[in-house]
Amino acid sequence: MLQLKNKTYNVTVYGCRTNQYEGEALAALLEEAGAVRSASAADIEVIVTCTITAAADRKCRKQIRKLRRENPHAVIAVCGCYAQNVPEAERELIGADIIIGNRLKNRLAEALSRWFADAGSENSIALFDRDILSDDSWDSLALDRPRMHGRAFLKVQDGCDHYCSYCIVPYVRGRPVSRRADEVAEEARRIVASGCKEIILTGIHLGLYDDLPGLVRRIGNIGGLRRLRFGSIEPFAVNDDLLDAIADTETFCPHLHLPLQSGDDSVLASMRRGYTSEDFRMITKKIRRRLNADIHLSTDLMIGFPAEDDAAFESSLRFVEEIGFGKVHVFPFSPREGTDAAKMRVLPEKKVRERVLRALALADKLHERYCSKWIGKSVSVLVEEKRAEAVVGLTPNYMRVAAQDRGYTLSEEIDVTPERYANGMLLTGGLSLSHRDGLEIPEFL
């Protein structure tokens, strides 16, 4: 019998969209066991962690210390990638009561119940899959409705076996596994029935899903769903079958996030990305030809990888501008212990900083160029938040828009006509909201 009735909880999420889904699903799991979400200090503090960079580790440790200091009587449960990666000798030192690695997060309510049944313990509870690299199980979390967002993230895939030279993710997430399509469809129907209009399919390497074109068609045709999109998809996963499925699915949004990382072939080879700049160029041409010339293609750009000399950096910037991305997420290379790239000689921080600032300036220019196409045109906006006299939300092609609030409700779909672009978003009327949406100067490591 789970002992969580009337216990209060909070969930803090760091990292990717898959983590966002897992945070929402853990909230659903705790509520099913009787817990109630709190707007302040809670009996249970859950942190869904990220370990993609050393900075991510630091943020997770800082949050644990902050919660321990501000809410000393809470049970602190640390889940996910940082939890999976923290050495056994350090587990007692990070200050968590419960530590759960990947593919076992579905056991959080059980672990909390044990903790409360024992009235606490001098020793933390640790649950880990010690052989995650050969594990083909699915972490059986489920979501009935989004609690922390207006849109719903829906995890359909986990794990990766690509082993880019800089990435720790395969070592902490394990081998690729796909969720059963009928299970995904049933969860999607529950989410839509709750009133949610948009679903974002997520995974650690979404393109490795067993039958992604079939899943797109199946989910996209659920009655009541207004929007379907991917969180991110690797460029080499975008084939003709997938493009046909997207083109045939009316609810699929005109936006794809394709992580590039670098536009220079020597850097791409050192990263072990599995494609060349010409491969990427041909993929984007195929996407625009098959779907829409105005589709929003966004990307990630890593700056300062050890193989990136001055010529490679300039080549990468030229390529990014040539492709004509809309939103570009710029971030500096971070040596991640346990990866091959961590053994390479890092570039001077001053040089990396200068390159990041140049890349961010280009990102700003490209984002404004793309968004400005819609100034003076009617666009559909799904309301996600309210700020003073304004509502803010996303268009289908992933532009953030602020509009004057005329009594709109959250999750309502409205039509507005943007009048100008400022601070990373489209605006109507005299609004002057600020939203950088990922274009801020990243933390240096």
What are the structural domain ranges in the chain? 8-132, 375-427
Q: What tokens does 85 get?
A: 């990666």
Q: What is the pLDDT, as a whole number, of residue 210?
A: 96
Fold (CATH) for 8-132: Rossmann fold (3.40.50)
Mean pLDDT value across residues 209-234? 97
Q: What is the pLDDT, as a whole number, of residue 429?
A: 74
Tell me the pLDDT band of 442, cut-offs 50, 70 and 90.
Answer: very low
Which of 83-92, 100-109, 280-289 has the lowest average pLDDT? 83-92
CATH class of 375-427: mainly beta
The helix (run of H) or strand (run of E) holding residue 127 is: strand 125-127
Q: What is the pLDDT, as a whole number, of residue 434?
A: 60
Pairwise CA distance, residues 350 & 353, whole Å? 5
Tell me the pLDDT band of 433, cut-offs 50, 70 and 90.
Answer: low
> Which residues, in sequence order, are bridge partners of residue 80?
49
Q: What is the pLDDT, as a whole number, of residue 444?
A: 38
Q: What is the pLDDT, as a whole number, of residue 123?
A: 66
Give yes or no for residue 59 having a pLDDT over 80: yes
Mean pLDDT value across residues 337-345? 95
Average pLDDT for the chain = 93
Give yes or no for residue 65 having a pLDDT over 50: yes
Q: What is the pLDDT, as a whole number, of residue 432?
A: 66
Give the number of other Cβ atoms within 10 Å of residue 168's Cβ: 20
Q: What is the pLDDT, as a whole number, of residue 89?
A: 78
> Which residues, in sequence order, are bridge partners of residue 9?
37, 44
Q: What tokens does 68 get?
A: 């321990």
Q: What is the pLDDT, as a whole number, of residue 221?
A: 96
Q: What is the pLDDT, as a whole number, of residue 38?
A: 93
Burial class (CB in 10 A: 0-12, 13-18, 19+), 229: buried
Instruction: Give residue 117's identity as a one-letter amino acid code.
Output: A
Q: Do 8-132 and 375-427 share a fold?
A: no
Q: What percent of the chain has pLDDT over 90?
A: 85
Which strands sit side by side in the sheet containing 227-230, from one edge to the other? 177-178, 152-158, 198-203, 227-230
Tell me the pLDDT band of 40, cut-offs 50, 70 and 90.
Answer: confident
Query: Could you report the per-residue pLDDT of 384-413, keeping only the tens digit for each?
Result: 999 888 999 999 999 999 999 999 999 999
Q: What percent of the chain has pLDDT over 70?
A: 95
Query: Could you report the per-residue pLDDT of 131-185, keeping only the tens digit for each?
Result: 899 888 999 999 999 998 889 999 999 999 999 999 999 999 999 999 999 999 9
Give yes or no for residue 344 having a pLDDT over 70: yes
